[in-house]
Structure 1
Amino acid sequence: MAAQFGKRLRKGAATTALAAATVAALAASQAPGVITDSAGRETAGAPTPDASPQADDTASGNSRYYTDLPPLESPNATPGTGDSSGAATGTAERGIPATVLDAYKKAEASLRDSKPGCNLPWQLLAAIGKVESGQARGGRVDADGTTYSKILGPVLSGGAFANISDTDNGAYDGDSTYDRAVGPMQFIPSTWEWAGRDGNGDGAKDPNNIYDAALAAGNYLCRFDWDLSNSGNLRSAILSYNNSTAYYNLVMRWLDYYREGAHEIEDGTGSLPNTPSGGGSGSGNSTPSPSPTPPATDKPGNDKPGGGGGGGGSTTPPTPPPTTPPTPPSTPTDTVHHLEDAGTDALAATAGDTFADKVSVRTETKAGKAVAKVRVRFTIVGDTDTVFSGGESVATIVTDKSGKAVAPALLAGEKTGGFKVRATVVGRTVTALDFAATVTARQADALARTTTTELTCVPNGEFAEQVEVKATYKGELADKVAATATLIKSAEDATENDKGPYFKDANGKTVRTLTGLQTDAGGVLKLPKLYSDDAVGTFLLRVTTEGGATLTVELKVEAPATASPSPSPSPSA
């Protein structure tokens, strides 16, 4: 993260005091009624961001971030000018390392194609990347976009940060006891497991690769069909990344700053992080201290919602820690004993359709009493491309006052077969509930030709018209329905005929059965050209679909008619 704030004001009043005051001013602009703790994170009493209970699950686990602010430039600042110390202002901070900038722009382009309604600007990724890791520690990445060393957040063992026990056996963060945020966009392992993406096309999903991490961050921000051109949706998305109003305000400052202009600089030449939330100095360390130093005690009224901002301006000595750590207050999650099915019906849908029912569970105490305000995570498990509405395979919902959590609607993919939806309690080990679900193939119950033209051909010729049929299901067009076409021996014998009309494969060889066919978006299936050998007569083509629809089409092969000779004229009298 850039050291811009400290360098720019090093010859003025106390830098850290000014930084703290600025961050405090940012936090003062938060929405009415939002409650934050001493680190600027919203507390349990704070409202859930913009009516999206899933936003309660954060990408970074509310881990440490960097509180450095954009330079306070004049709109008419001369490019390349600096303060009296020679430190560049403005234009230096607008520089983004080339590979990092390329990753942000490629992620924006990818999301423009896959989720056009999201309207994700690359400048938002740049703002988050600045706050989370100082643009991958000033662009210290190789040619493929992978950081030269892992960027790890603090150990999430409670205290100043979230308490998240290990979920990846140390695979991403090297810690098999607790989780740590990983990579330039600072994903916690449990979130990366489902949100990770392959942004550079190398077949891997690496949180330490800026292309993978930027695309994952973009997809994460665009889930739940959020439109980021809407200020409310944008706020929800940022708070879902790190549930802190101070964090939201800081990201917005950098977003506005980069929207005013940014330029490419050489990899590895960006400025390093300076002021991490929670106290201490960033100074470019790739692995912050595992045990964050508690923020110093300030004078009354000197709030630091950014988590400490580096100290300074305080004359009151820190309060010594108590000899016996206080017992943490009990939370609703601590009282959960088990999960109960809250009335989930059979989960079945046709490929491409929305499941009629949703998974519903209830969190209960040992005595069977409902527990509200508990996070329940729903995960789609198995070899399936079915997703929740919003396009993800994981969703986290907070239980309502009756202890009930209802998963988002399931959208069936094209893969048929069974899978499971697993419900677990976030932050507590209780037996999971699994719900069986099934996706069946698309079906048609009727087939009809789109024309009534008679299909005829001469021996060793080709049919002038291709066979075209339309499939329907319960009167509606049946798209993407699997079909088979076979030239059969007779109406009673559906085995493949060995003579008469035939199709050709890609190599020009005779084929009399076509499999793997599929109706188009309008329910239409147009077969390839038909040819005939030297056999004459009436032949049958049978088309069948998934769901049992059947149509038999007549094909006639007739020898060409022989012209009758003209009668000889009678001799003249």
Structure 2
Amino acid sequence: MSAHFGTRLRKGAVNTTVAALAVAALAASQAPDVTADGHGRQTAADTPSAADDGSGIGDSATGNSPYYTDLPPLNSPLPAPSESSSTTPAATGTTEAGIPATVLDAYKKAEAELAQSKPGCNLPWQLLAAIGKVESGQARGGNVTADGTTVSPILGPVLNGVGFANISDTDNGAYDGDSTYDRAVGPMQFIPSTWAWAGRDGNADGKKDPNNIYDAALAAGHYLCRYDWDMSATSGMRSAILSYNNSTDYLNTVLSWLEYYRKGTHEIADGTGTVPDNRSDDGTGSTPASPSTPSTPSTPSTPSTPSKPSKPSTPNTPSTPSTPTPTPTPTPTETVGHLEDAGTASLTAMAGDTFTERISTRAETAAGKAVAKVRIRFTIVGDTDATFTGGESVATISTGANGVALAPALVAGEKTGGFTVRATVLGRTLSALDYKATVTARAADTLARTSATALTCTAGGEFADQVEVKATYKGAVADKVAATATLIKSADDATTNDKGPYFKDAAGNPVRTLDLQTDANGLLELPKLYADDTAGTYLLRITTTGGATLTVELTVTAAETSTPSPTPSESESTTTGS
């Protein structure tokens, strides 16, 4: 790797001063605690642990498959202006700074979709481009069809544990053509077990194809954003990249290409991009390329004259039989006998809330011994809109040293009722372990008026003030909670009154019962109230899901009646009579 980098320096004829300036330019990342090493490669100030804490870092999109290690040129596409800098910008149209047209379009479309579906992620398309460069050299230099599908499959090496991860087949060869082991697939190098839940249809053709750059780029974006990681923050971007491939060198290489593309890039024709030369496995696990043209067979040589048979030699003494080849050690996955609940408590949450408990599953041998480094898939099953944190319905987590995999937190949707989270072992056909979860309706336990103003009105008139209440649940705002407002007959008789104050429906007709809902701040403002001709004291009762109740007193006073003054004629006749 260092020799290759040195070649680049010689080709560019860059002196030590210019190289140092270029390194400083690479270090000027938007992420404040990302620096550059002596080769101009960005490095994280503090590398996160690879241990799985439920964040997904213990797993990876690629199965930690090999990747291209080539670094971007020191010449920046658009170097920052400086009076003292003699750094030469890369020539316009240079292949290194260019991204094939269809591939670039896929990255930008994925960024636009994520801006709508997961705006808090702040995913830049340049990050997808950096990962695409490192994973497949931008789909082998943009060797794709018009719809974005790679002309020939891009497959990583067999993940059989020889120099790489050991991942038994999870898709029966559907994506990678291998029914024994998994292989990373496509321009963004997803392993089949990850694509099974992360796959997306990015070009709206009704298919989720890991070999299509539109599908793969959108899937990569959702994968990076799945745990509410914010790409505008250093920690969020670092966690997301490491979840893609859990390697510090991988992180640094991706960050370097990200910074390079942020400083400027341009579109080039499909199929004209360069494919990197160096890989993290030194090329020992070769990635299949397009079929090459068969070489011309060589001309057969003239047979030589047979030699005279030699005298038979004395038979050798039989050698001692060799020791039989030992049976291969089974993989951790192969030793799993069953799954056990590792102490998961009751799973209940109110609609819209995050479940306080998380599912914990332990992989064990038949004898009950914990098994580490086993991939557990958690799948949400049933008629529910509940998801894991980040909006996915499937998550794959590796067991730790204690054999336990901790699923991401569950987030309740708006659908109430029960559903199931199913835990299975990837690569084995074993009985699943099901966890029952329940979503209850949004509720409030307290209602209070937001004003102490007395509510009065004269008969036949309208109340000047509208009733507003605030709902809370255990002291917190109770938003989107169903409520009913009813004008009742008395404190002991909650049936609807047939006289006194009333609301109006859309047609202007009197109604004395309304179904309502609190707003995002837990507030509920009732419509204007009107009074009929009956004076008296009346009650308005408001109830919510969860049992909160508030009774409000309404007073209707009789309309004022004035004594008529004597008419002038009556006054005159009285005076005359006297």
What CA deviation, in whole Å up to 9, does each residue of 1:43-67 have, x standing for no partner? xxx9726977722322133456556
* Pair 1:431-2:431 in alignment: yes
Match of 2:243 among 236, 240, 244: 240
Q: For 1:92, what is the secondary structure of its paired residue? A: coil
Is contact 2:144-2:271 (8 Å) kept?
Answer: no
- Tell me which residue corresponds to 2:273: 271
- Over 3 Å counting, the alpha-carbon distance change for 1:423 and 1:211 in structure 2 is same
Q: What amino acid is the match of 2:217?
A: A
Give me the whole-angstrom Cα distance separating, in 2, the residues matched to 1:111 and 1:121: 9
The alignment of Structure 1 onto Structure 2 pairs a total of residues equal to 495
Is contact 1:168-1:189 (8 Å) kept?
Answer: yes
Match of 1:135 among 132, 138, 146: 138
- Tell me which residue corresponds to 1:466: 466
Is contact 1:274-1:281 (8 Å) kept?
Answer: no
Q: For 2:96, what is the secondary structure of its paired residue? A: helix
Give me the whole-angstrom Cα distance separating, in 2, the residues matched to 1:191 and 1:485: 49
- Tell me which residue corresponds to 2:457: 456
Is contact 1:275-1:282 (8 Å) kept?
Answer: no
Match of 2:197 among 194, 197, 206: 194
Pairs within 5 Å for 1:62-461:
62-63=64-65, 65=67, 69-71=71-73, 73=75, 76-77=87-88, 80=91, 91-98=94-101, 100-105=103-108, 107-108=110-111, 120-136=123-139, 146-147=148-149, 152-153=154-155, 158=160, 164=167, 167=170, 181-197=184-200, 207=210, 210=213, 212-226=215-229, 228=231, 234-244=237-247, 247-265=250-268, 268=270, 270-271=272-273, 273=275, 278=283, 285=290, 328-389=328-389, 391-451=391-451, 452-456=453-457, 458-459=459-460
- Tell me which residue corresponds to 2:58: 56
Give me the whole-angstrom Cα distance separating, in 2, the residues matched to 1:55 and 1:345: 24
Q: Give, in angstroms, the shift of residue 148 of structure 1.
A: 7.5
- Tell me which residue corresponds to 1:481: 481
Moved more, 552-561 or 203-212: 203-212
Is contact 2:139-2:150 (8 Å) kept?
Answer: no
What CA deviation, in whole Å up to 9, does each residue of 1:443-492 have, x standing for no partner? 22232322232142543x54332221222334554333221223445555
Unaligned runs of 5+ in 2: 13-37, 80-86, 293-323
Q: What amino acid is the match of 1:367?
A: A
Q: What amino acid is the match of 1:561?
A: E
Q: For 2:472, what is the secondary structure of its paired residue? A: strand
Q: What amino acid is the match of 2:564?
A: P
Give me the whole-angstrom Cα distance separating, in 2, the residues matched to 1:283 and 1:401: 35
Moved more, 542-551 or 67-76: 67-76
Q: What amino acid is the match of 1:258?
A: Y
Q: For 2:56, what is the secondary structure of its paired residue? A: helix
Moved more, 401-410 or 47-56: 47-56
Q: For 1:376, what is the secondary structure of its paired residue? A: strand
Q: What amino acid is the match of 2:63?
A: G
Is contact 2:372-2:403 (8 Å) kept?
Answer: yes
Moved more, 195-204 or 475-484: 195-204
Q: What amino acid is the match of 1:58?
A: S
Pairs within 5 Å for 1:508-519:
511-515=511-515, 517-519=516-518
Q: Percent identity?
A: 68
Unaligned runs of 5+ in 1: 13-24, 35-45, 82-87, 289-323
Is contact 2:342-2:404 (8 Å) kept?
Answer: yes
- Over 3 Å counting, the alpha-carbon distance change for 1:535 and 1:174 in structure 2 is farther
Give me the whole-angstrom Cα distance separating, in 2, the residues matched to 1:97 and 1:507: 61
Give me the whole-angstrom Cα distance separating, in 1, the residues matched to 2:446 and 2:348: 23
| RMSD of Structure 2 on Structure 1 (CA) | 4.8
- Over 3 Å counting, the alpha-carbon distance change for 1:55 and 1:78 in structure 2 is closer
Q: Give, in angstroms, the shift of residue 183 of structure 1.
A: 4.7
Is contact 1:481-1:519 (8 Å) kept?
Answer: yes
Q: For 2:361, what is the secondary structure of its paired residue? A: strand
- Tell me which residue corresponds to 2:301: none
Q: For 2:469, what is the secondary structure of its paired residue? A: strand
What CA deviation, in whole Å up to 9, does each residue of 1:404-440 have, x standing for no partner? 3333443434332212222223333322211111122
- Over 3 Å counting, the alpha-carbon distance change for 1:97 and 1:554 in structure 2 is farther
Q: For 1:125, what is the secondary structure of its paired residue? A: helix
Q: Give, in angstroms, the shift of residue 563 of structure 1.
A: 3.0
Give me the whole-angstrom Cα distance separating, in 1, the residues matched to 2:176 and 2:503: 58
Q: For 1:340, what is the secondary structure of its paired residue? A: strand
Give me the whole-angstrom Cα distance separating, in 1, the residues matched to 2:215 and 2:562: 74
TM-score by length of structure 2 reads 0.68
Pairs within 5 Å for 1:506-545:
511-515=511-515, 517-531=516-530, 539-545=538-544
Is contact 2:52-2:398 (8 Å) kept?
Answer: no
Name which one, 1 or 2, has greater alpha-carbon Rg: 2
Give me the whole-angstrom Cα distance separating, in 2, the residues matched to 1:532 and 1:206: 65
Give me the whole-angstrom Cα distance separating, in 2, the residues matched to 1:198 and 1:533: 60
